[in-house]
Structure 1
């Protein structure tokens, strides 16, 4: 799925070091001066400012000592030249010659630097945050920390330059105080921290300006990750011939639903059907079999109480999802142990992941396999790695890589900015989805979607990526129709089906006439 023959700055993600490399190539080999890049950044930010606040009359610009502050000085000068009343707040002397030059130009335009007081910061209708840039690696301290607090306390809309001050650009971690932006204009390339960790909470609406850096520069720098896209997923999805029958589009087994948790396995099974699986069988506790059949009769439900009965079902399918409502008791352990003895592709989710830990997942090399997909949320990832969820969230990319080294296969690290990875492949990031997905059953649906795609012949990496994308698109569609709060897992089913068909060009023709 990873193609690095042509780097697209609108889709690929770059660390702070990689952006600095791109800047160096632009300066040294394409003779675009650092001052020109700074002027372009300020002009791009001012353009976005005008689009969002076209009637702006009073502006506050906060400039730090780095080139991020230099971009701010350019914005301030352009604003005052256009007739906007500007309060220029400078924190510390500019470090680079270019930043000093644009600071001097701002002063020649009639601007005077003001101290960072509450009165000065809250004077405008919008605050431009040029305090700290993408090189932050520690919590903001001292006066900078206090300036961030004052900006947030003003309650004024904020436009951040490159990245909200205090947010780590590579990880999305927030080691200290962070500016809460309404709009962020980032430069040269998107940074991972804008999309994952806590980035989406602090960035607001994102804009990218490549500053006219030539494509040849991007093609020489390997990015750190790639965002998923419709085109990428559509190219990987299997198309369905008109003469196909159910046996040709995959047979999935979903194992789970311990006592009192039949809903999880049912939702996973229905989700597999919604993406096109041909036959879905549920292996669950005997008490649930008849009940599930009433709710969703298309699902073939088998009461399974021991590993021998499960083994019979394994022989009849193409892949297995294990974990939705599986529980943490002896039955769950027995089911997973039986599954680990088979060679089928597996999707391990929820309680299935907890059972891996009980089976010695921290240090057992025998649990490594390449044809499974592990789908942990941060808490489950922490248990797999023997750490707390906060450590996972502090560097989600590193945590996913650690899971892949330990367990092999494909990892889907769920959360804001879900990551999909496989060793020796460029990590993939899902920039879609919303806070409404923070409700019970969402992970069960995702596991069913991935399993349903897996049995249709997709590779584990492609099935995981497409599943994450369809799941997120469906959640966004539901949010657009009825809002994020109150969304439940079953609300996604119609959207999953609709987007699956849309991406392969099979939308319904009913009602269309020539």
Structure 2
């Protein structure tokens, strides 16, 4: 039997996900050349992938566990044969089940290595007889683009029904490596070790429910790979907050940090604009003024630091407020009734006549996006605004079904940005920020944030950081990215503070003290 890798570069894995994300086809097209430039062949790369998978398994399972390795016919299956051989060499209890004979030379070589170790190959659908504690998923990699079928689909369904611990190699079987959607079904993994480059589909939407803990193994060719192709997207890193949100100078005053003007808070929805206004203050805005529907001033003004006026769009004071503002936001609690519609018409008419006062940095959210969807044909794209749709609002803006948005969140965000301009924040698990500088994904946030008012808080935070972009010497796009990251991190911290592992019951207002924490990443 060939000596297998057991230490060093071949088996190194990390839970630190690099900034650069790639499409699966970039990896398929470039990994062989990258390996050649690094002085290794594809067989060595397969050995390294298997060794990295074994490292992850060894860290999370135990030698007393029963291991079932499920192998497909391609190179992903070859990785699985190597994991099985390494586990057997270490004295673990491992059985291997294959869907078909290997189709590639390297996978055939890996199979022979398993056989040389006195391993046996059993039919795929016999795996339940082994009563495993762990499944190693090496059935299908990133090359599939159609729904699972036949024995593999039956196997995937059985693994999920059994609720077993699963380690997926490169990507969970059935998950699309670019969109992150399940192709009919997909294995639900506890851990995924992805190889060479992180596939962008693993980082947003439904993929976050299938991949489990994400690990990365560059297999020793990361530098060479990056020289061959440009990233398809960017994975935001927590330490970037420190780069963007430097401490304020001691001589700062409120006039240097933006005056945010927010329109929203119709009858019955005053809380939404109050949340947005308070979040803007907590995120460092120098001043915040809220225009709400007349009669709602008391409810909004319970946050004493907010300047609150109940105004109609025709009020002559509006022009003065717009002139004073450095950032304009519309949408939280705007509503679909007469007051909200008249404000939207006021804004729309101002854009149509190219009113320079309305070219200031703008955030549109909630019902402002719904009104925009109905006005889309009348507007050209704008570079001064940030749109923050959830998938439902995005579907209305693009005149499609919500399922179409979730089927390819990357394409949806890009299409929205191309059609409307500016910066688009497509909210959800792995929120996407798409602008002229490319698309970034924020990995921060948690399920407990699926509650009313979270989007209003994000609107306030984005508005506040846009207003501070000049003082911070960062771009508008970076200010939006920072706000999305800080929002997600504040949500995680707030949920943890309530009770470790909290997934429900979090209030949007619970984020406020944690916004202060994350908006000051460098302050002692």
Same fold (TM over 0.5): yes
Q: What does residue 20 of structure 1 align with?
A: 28
Q: What does residue 370 of structure 1 align with?
A: 383
SS in 1 for 2:295: helix
Q: What does residue 3 of structure 1 align with?
A: none
Q: What does residue 499 of structure 1 align with?
A: 518
State how many pairs are aligned: 493
Q: What does residue 435 of structure 1 align with?
A: 447
Q: What does residue 463 of structure 2 align with?
A: 451
Residue 48 of structure 2 is aligned to residue 40 of structure 1:
yes
Residue 352 of structure 2 is aligned to residue 352 of structure 1:
no
Matches within 5 A, 1:200-219: 200-219=208-227
Matches within 5 A, 1:185-204: 185-204=193-212
Question: Equivalents in 1 of 2:246, 2:329: separation in Å?
Answer: 20
Structure 1 position 351, deviation (Å) = 0.5
Residues 223, 121 of structure 1: CA spacing in aligned structure 2 closer, same or farther, 3 A cutoff? farther
| RMSD between superposed Cα atoms in Å | 1.6
SS in 1 for 2:231: coil
User: Which aligned segments of 4 or more residues in structure 1 are displaced greater than 6 angstroms?
Assistant: none
* TM-score, scaled to structure 2: 0.91
Residues 238, 282 of structure 1: CA spacing in aligned structure 2 closer, same or farther, 3 A cutoff? farther
Residue 508 of structure 2 is aligned to residue 489 of structure 1:
yes
Residue 65 of structure 2 is aligned to residue 49 of structure 1:
no
Instruction: Give per-residue Cα distances to partners, 1:32-72, cap 9 Å, x unaligned.
Output: 11110110011011011011113443210000011110000
Q: What does residue 30 of structure 1 align with?
A: 38
Question: Equivalents in 2 of 1:119, 1:90: separation in Å?
Answer: 9
Instruction: Give per-residue Cα distances to partners, 1:394-431, cap 9 Å, x unaligned.
Output: 111111111111110000000111000113x2210001
Residue 252 of structure 2 is aligned to residue 233 of structure 1:
no
User: Does the Cα contact within 8 Å between 1:373 and 1:460 map onto a contact in 2?
Assistant: no
Q: What does residue 102 of structure 2 align with?
A: 94
Question: Equivalents in 1 of 2:325, 2:242: separation in Å?
Answer: 26
Residues 45, 427 of structure 1: CA spacing in aligned structure 2 closer, same or farther, 3 A cutoff? same
Q: What does residue 355 of structure 2 align with?
A: none
Question: Equivalents in 2 of 1:319, 1:154: separation in Å?
Answer: 52
User: Does the Cα contact within 8 Å between 2:333 and 2:367 map onto a contact in 1?
Assistant: yes
Residue 285 of structure 2 is aligned to residue 277 of structure 1:
yes
Residue 328 of structure 2 is aligned to residue 301 of structure 1:
no
Q: What does residue 327 of structure 1 align with?
A: 335
Structure 1 position 122, deviation (Å) = 4.8
Matches within 5 A, 1:53-452: 53-117=61-125, 120=128, 122-237=130-245, 239-293=247-301, 295-308=302-315, 309-340=317-348, 341=350, 342-359=358-375, 361=376, 363-364=377-378, 366-423=379-436, 425-452=437-464
Question: Equivalents in 1 of 2:486, 2:65: separation in Å?
Answer: 43
Question: Equivalents in 2 of 1:256, 1:134: separation in Å?
Answer: 45
Residues 183, 348 of structure 1: CA spacing in aligned structure 2 closer, same or farther, 3 A cutoff? same
Structure 1 position 290, deviation (Å) = 2.0
User: Does the Cα contact within 8 Å between 2:294 and 2:310 map onto a contact in 1?
Assistant: yes
Question: Equivalents in 2 of 1:437, 1:255: separation in Å?
Answer: 24
Question: Equivalents in 2 of 1:209, 1:470: separation in Å?
Answer: 28
User: Does the Cα contact within 8 Å between 1:87 and 1:123 map onto a contact in 2?
Assistant: no
User: Does the Cα contact within 8 Å between 2:97 and 2:126 map onto a contact in 1?
Assistant: no
Question: Equivalents in 2 of 1:36, 1:184: separation in Å?
Answer: 21
User: Does the Cα contact within 8 Å between 1:320 and 1:451 map onto a contact in 2?
Assistant: yes
Question: Equivalents in 2 of 1:192, 1:343: separation in Å?
Answer: 34
Instruction: Give per-residue Cα distances to partners, 1:100-126, cap 9 Å, x unaligned.
Output: 011011011111111123554652211
Deviates more, 1:114-123 or 1:335-344: 114-123
User: Does the Cα contact within 8 Å between 1:417 and 1:432 map onto a contact in 2?
Assistant: yes
Structure 1 position 9, deviation (Å) = 6.8
Question: Equivalents in 2 of 1:74, 1:497: separation in Å?
Answer: 49
Residues 92, 222 of structure 1: CA spacing in aligned structure 2 closer, same or farther, 3 A cutoff? same
User: Does the Cα contact within 8 Å between 2:35 and 2:224 map onto a contact in 1?
Assistant: no
Question: Equivalents in 2 of 1:118, 1:277: separation in Å?
Answer: 62
SS in 1 for 2:438: coil
* TM-score, scaled to structure 1: 0.93
Structure 1 position 331, deviation (Å) = 1.8
Q: What does residue 4 of structure 1 align with?
A: none
- Return 5+ residue gaps in structure 1 as ranges: 1-7, 508-514
User: Does the Cα contact within 8 Å between 1:453 and 1:463 map onto a contact in 2?
Assistant: yes
Structure 1 position 149, deviation (Å) = 1.1
Q: What does residue 8 of structure 2 align with?
A: none
SS in 2 for 1:164: coil
